[in-house]
Structure 1
């Protein structure tokens, strides 16, 4: 390869030049300030082979690379995966609220399922999955960068099976195991929790109504006093006749 006069390295769909080797002149130039500086202080070129070296790679370096010489053009696809975070499992109280509202307006049996959600933020090129033991229950995949994912699950309160939420890409994975006893309480606890939220809202509304009532009363009393004062001034200013 070093028998060529010039060796060029390009990146991306626009074939942006990022490195140039002038074999005859014995010089190497890197253009690491292009593309918003994503390659700044990260590009090196091997003097012997002409190989391109990228140090401290990040997800933004994912893409298509092109090697161009006098006689050949080769393309390489590079995918850089970010370090995976551990998924978070939480209780989905919005489902609890809707269930408690519907149960309070009907004579149906109490809620028997616990609504959960597994979520991750700022991920890309990953799959988020729910497992029951070793069996896959549901999954969702994304190929974009820096996106948030969430995946719901409903289990019975007394369920003794083992559940886990798994986040993975082609090279690694992170697993969060579900502790049903910690997250899923009885239906009455759920209703009390949702009832507490509704009680806080009702209390806030009551305070606002009370403040409005007091304001109206103060305004009414003040207006009456002003009218009485004006009436006294009018009567005292009339001339007296003998």
Structure 2
């Protein structure tokens, strides 16, 4: 193996070591859609002879989006980021405003001079959480129509969890990988049991809740209450008729 080929192999080897160190030190950053985030490099200040480069991609950051060279800042490499990037020419910190879900990915900062310094950031942008909606599905008839089923639903988004709470106790929850669908979570509750119920939709950066007052819900939902009362009356009548029929059959059997 010639000296030139040996040097080439050594360069590839050390580059692989450098990249592995960079990826191992990747910082996790989360933010909400529409917000502003600043990727801090930790550099106290750059000299005029240092070149700074920011790259981005969904997995491996190979697309240049911003740079500083000889004190000149440039942030117009990619149309998707136009007007939304601000690069600090002294520290190399990158500011991204009006975040979009599509901005999620890996960002890499490189400071190039006699030495090469690198830092990577894994940014995850979450959609705004919608306020969950609650509706009464039906009443269950006991002796006094004391329970009902309700359903909470919300528009789905990345890593969203929908939960039912009784006070501070989480009763049940659900989630779905299908982001284009609406997710729903039913619950059977006891009417006028004195407990406070709420439905919570949350992701790692935001949460929204809707409270359910069981007494107010039943009082306001006249159709369900009426249905319960009517159904209860019908069942009582049927029970009475069946009872009378059984009495008649028993009396006839005894006569026979």
TM-score bracket for this pair, using the shorter chain length: 0.5 to 0.7
Query: Does 2:96 align with 1:48?
Result: no
What do you get for the CA RMSD once the two structures are aligned? 3.3
Number of corresponding residues: 177
Partner of 2:235: none
Equivalent residue for 1:189, pick from 227, 242, 248: 227
Partner of 2:99: 57
Partner of 2:67: 20
CA distance in 1, matches of 2:204, 2:125: 11
Change (3 A) 1:141 1:72: farther
Change (3 A) 1:155 1:146: same
Shift of 1:131: 0.6
Matches within 5 A, 1:173-184: 173-184=207-218
140-149 vs 112-121, which moves further = 140-149
CA distance in 2, matches of 1:50, 1:29: 12
Task: Give the structure, 1 or 2, with the largest relative contact order (CA under 8 Å, sep 6 or more).
Answer: 2
CA distance in 1, matches of 2:77, 2:202: 32
Q: Is the 8 A contact 2:202 2:208 kept in 1?
A: yes
Query: Does 2:109 align with 1:67?
Result: yes
Change (3 A) 1:65 1:147: farther
Shift of 1:18: 0.9
Partner of 1:225: none
Change (3 A) 1:183 1:18: same
CA distance in 1, matches of 2:122, 2:178: 17
Change (3 A) 1:27 1:171: same
Query: Does 2:121 align with 1:76?
Result: yes
TM-score normalised to structure 1 length: 0.60
TM-score normalised to structure 2 length: 0.57
Shift of 1:136: 0.8
Shift of 1:54: 0.9
CA distance in 2, matches of 1:50, 1:166: 39
Change (3 A) 1:67 1:87: same
Q: Is the 8 A contact 1:125 1:144 kept in 2?
A: no
Shift of 1:163: 0.7
Matches within 5 A, 1:135-174: 135-141=169-175, 148-174=182-208
Partner of 1:89: 134
CA distance in 2, matches of 1:155, 1:112: 9
Partner of 1:196: none
